[in-house]
A and B are shown apart, each in its own frame.
Chain A
Amino acid sequence: MRAGAGDIELAGLCKSYDGATNVVDGVNLKIPDGAYCCFLGPSGCGKTTILRMIAGHEDPTAGEIVIGGENVAGMAPVERRTAMMFQSYALFPHLNVRDNIAFALRVRGQSRAERYKAADLMMEKVRLTELADRLPANLSGGQQQRVALARAAITEPRVLLLDEPLSALDEQLRVQMRQELRRMQRELGITFIHVTHTQLEAIALADIVVVMEKGKIKQSGPARDVYAYPRDRYVAEFLGGQNVLSGKVEKIGDGHVVLSQPNRSGIQVGLCADARLSVGDRIDLAVRRDDIELMRVDAGGLGDGATALPSRVVAIEYQGSFVKVMLDTLPDEDFVAYIPERTFFRDPFDVGDMLLATWSAGRARVLA
C-alpha cells in the first residue's frame, strides 16, 4: 500500500470557470517526492484552484496532472492517493475525534475494532489520545488542526494537500503549528503541498516555494533562492525584504549606471559590469534591506563603487534583533534599511535626520 512515489508534475495546467478568463493559466511545475512545497500568492491568484485540481475536487480545463508517473485525470481523490486538509478543517461536527479520524476507514468498510485500532495509533502520533472522545466544538484551534491532519494522514496518502492550514489560528499558535506540520511531514515522509498567502510561512516551511500571480507561476525554487534572488519586481515586493528601484538608464559608467526617475534624475547605482544594459532601458533594481548601511552625511570612507543616496529618515521601528529605518530615498517608493540592533544603537538616528543610504558594489541586482 505504501508504494507509489509522490512526485507531482503539472503540465500546461489551465482552469477556467467562464470559458473566457483563466484562473489558472498554463502552469508547469515539477515537485519531487517527499518535498514540502508552498504555493504563495495573494488571494485570487489561483493557488487554491491548483490545489483543488491536484486533489481531484476540480477538473482542469486543459493540461495534465501526473502523480507518481500516472496521469490522474478523472480519478477520485482516494484513487489518486491524495488527501486534503481544508482551510477551516471541515471536521465532522457530529463525530468525536476518534470517529473523525476513523471516517476514511469506516467508508472503506473496516470493522469498528479494526478502524479504532488504526485511529488510536494515529492519535498517539499527533498526541490526541486524551481527546479521543471530544467533539470538534470542544477543541482548540490547534487541536482541531491536529485532528484534521490525522484524519487526512490515516488514508496513507502519497500527497497531502493543505489549504491555508494556519490561517484560522492566532499568531503564536501559528508558529507552533508550523513546526508541527514540518515535523509531521518528515515523519510521514510524503509530499506536502501547502497553500498560503503569508510569505514568512512559506519560506520558513518550504523546500520549494512557488510564487504565483494571476494564475501564472512567477518564480519557483528553494526558499532562499526566491527570497534572496527574486526574479522580478512582483516576487521581490511580495516576499519583502528588498528595496526595488526602478528607472530609466541615463548613462552607463564604469561599474555603475545612472538612473533617472520621473521626479528625480542622476541616481548613481553601483552595478556589476556583466549586466547587459543599454542607455534608455527601463529597469528594476533590487537591493536587500539588510544590505543597506546608513552613514551620516559628513562621515567619509565610502567603499569603491559603492552607492550612496542622500535620504531623510521618515520613521523608525524597533524590531528586536534589528531596527527598521524607513527613508525617503526614492520619491515614489518605499525604501527601508534593516540595521542590526547593536549597530543602530551605537549611534542612533532620529526621525528627520539626513543620511546617506549606501551599499557596496555588487549588492544590487537587476530584475527581469
Chain B
Amino acid sequence: MTVALGEADMAMVRTRRVPAVARGDRRPWTFYALAAVFTLYVAALYGPMICIYILSFQDIRGGLVFPTKGHSLHWFVDLFTQVRTGDVKGSFDRSIKLAALVTVVTLVVSLMAGLAFRRRFFGDTFVFYLMIGSLVAPGLVLGLGIGLLFQWLGINASWYTSALGAQLSWTLPFGVLVMFAVMSRFNSVWEEAARDLGATRWQTIRLVVIPVLAPGLVAVALFGFTLSYDEFARTLQTAGSLNTLPLEIWSMTLNVTSPSLYALGTVTTIVSFAIIGGCIAAIVFINKRRGVRAATH
C-alpha cells in the first residue's frame, strides 16, 4: 500500500522529461552506467510489489512463495467470502469513510490556513512550527498518547473519533504545506477585482478563490486521502475495537497463511491507483479547460 504515496509524490513533483539526445550523437558511457543503476532502483522499488500481485492470481493450490501454481481469481473470491480471512469488507468500508472524512477536514482547514498565512499575524511562526512539530513527532508515540488521553477521559476510542484526530495530526500539516505551494501562485489582485465588481466576501471565495485554486485543492485532497487510507502507526492505538484496512492487513499477516493476503494487496493497490488516476485526470481536465498546457509527467 505504500505504492500509493510513492505514486502521488511523483505526480506532485511533475518530473519533466529531458529532451532525448539528438540522433547521431554517441552517448557517453556514463549514460549506460546510470541507466543500469536506475533500472536496478526501479526493480528494487517495484519488484517486491509485483511479486505480490503475481502471487495473488494463483489457483486453489497456491502458496505464499514462488513458484506459482496455476492462475485464477480464487483468492479474491476467498478474500470477500471466507470469514477466517478477517473482516476485510468492514475494514475497507471504515477506511474509505475515514479517508473521506479526513480528506474533507484537511481540505477545508488547509484552504483556510493557506488564506490566513498570506498575511503576518500574531504568533504565526509559532503556529507554523507547532504544525511541523506534529509532522515530525513519531507516529506510534503520538497515537499512543491520544489513545491514553481518550482512556483517561473515559471516552471509547473509535475510528471516527480518536483515529480521526490522530490521522489529522498527520494529514493537516501535509495539506497545509501543499496549500502554501499552491497559494504562492495565487494573485490576491483577483480577490480585489472581485470586490471591485461588487462581490461579497463569500461570493469572492465561492466564485473566484476556490475555482482558481481548484487544481491545487484536488492535490491537497489527494494527499489527505492517500495519507489516511495508508496510515498505520497513529491509527494502531486509536482505532478502538474495529480495525481500519491497514490494521486488518497487519493482523492478517499474523494469522492468515494463504494468498488471499496478496489478493488484498492487489485490490487495495488498484483502489489507490484508481483514486490517484481520477485526481490527476481531474487536474488535467481543469487545466485543459483553462487553456493552460497541462504539465503532465
Contact = CB atoms under 8 A, between A and B. Distances in A.
Interface of A: 55, 57, 76-78, 83-84, 86, 88, 90, 92-95, 103-104, 106-108, 134-135, 137-138, 151-152, 155
Nearest to B197: A104
Contacts of A106: 207
Contacts of A155: 197-198
Given A103-B194, A135-B289, A155-B198, 16 more contacts: A57-B192, A76-B195, A76-B198, A77-B198, A83-B196, A83-B197, A84-B196, A86-B193, A92-B211, A93-B190, A104-B198, A106-B207, A107-B200, A107-B203, A135-B291, A138-B291
Contact of B196 (A57, A95, A134, A137): A57
A103 B194 CA distance: 8
Given A92-B208, A135-B290, A137-B291, A107 B196 contact: no
B206 to A, nearest CB: 10
B214 A94 contact: yes
Interface string B182-211: 000001011011111111100100011001
Given A83-B197, A108-B198, A137-B292, A103 B192 contact: no
Contact of B199 (A83, A86, A107, A151): A107
Contact of B207 (A55, A107, A138): A107
Contacts of A76: 195, 198
- Max chain B C-beta neighbours (<10 A), residue from A92, A106, A108, A151: A92
A163 to B, nearest CB: 10
Nearest to B193: A90
B104 interface: no
A82 to B, nearest CB: 8
Contacts of A152: 196-197
- Max chain A C-beta neighbours (<10 A), residue from B187, B195, B196: B196
Given A94-B212, A137-B292, A86 B189 contact: yes
Leading 8 A-B pairs by shortest Cβ distance: A78-B198, A104-B197, A90-B193, A107-B199, A90-B189, A135-B291, A137-B291, A94-B211
A86 B192 CA distance: 9
Nearest to A79: B198
Nearest to B214: A94
14 contacts: A76-B195, A78-B198, A90-B189, A90-B193, A92-B190, A103-B194, A103-B199, A107-B194, A107-B199, A108-B198, A135-B289, A137-B292, A152-B197, A155-B198
A93 B290 contact: yes
Q: How large is the interface on B (under 10, 10 to 19, 20 to 34, 35 or more residues)?
A: 20 to 34
B197 A107 contact: yes
Contacts, number: 69
Contacts of B193: 84, 86, 90, 92
Contacts of A90: 187, 189-190, 192-193
Nearest to B198: A78
A91 to B, nearest CB: 8
Contacts of B203: 107
Interface in B196-238: 196-200, 203, 207-208, 211-212, 214
A109 to B, nearest CB: 10
A69 B291 CA distance: 45
A133 to B, nearest CB: 11
B262 to A, nearest CB: 44
A151 B212 contact: no
A153 to B, nearest CB: 11
A90 B290 CA distance: 15
B189 A88 contact: yes
A350 to B, nearest CB: 52
A83 B187 CA distance: 19
A353 B195 CA distance: 62
Contacts of B190: 90, 92-93
B108 to A, nearest CB: 20
A86 B190 CA distance: 9
B184 to A, nearest CB: 15
A83 B197 CA distance: 7
A138 B288 CA distance: 12
B270 to A, nearest CB: 33
A77 B198 CA distance: 7
A125 to B, nearest CB: 18
A325 B189 CA distance: 45
B218 to A, nearest CB: 14
Given A86-B189, A90-B193, A103 B290 contact: no
Contacts of B199: 103, 107
Contacts of A83: 196-197
A94 B290 contact: yes
A41 to B, nearest CB: 21
Nearest to A88: B189
A107 B195 CA distance: 10
- Max chain A C-beta neighbours (<10 A), residue from B198, B203, B289: B198
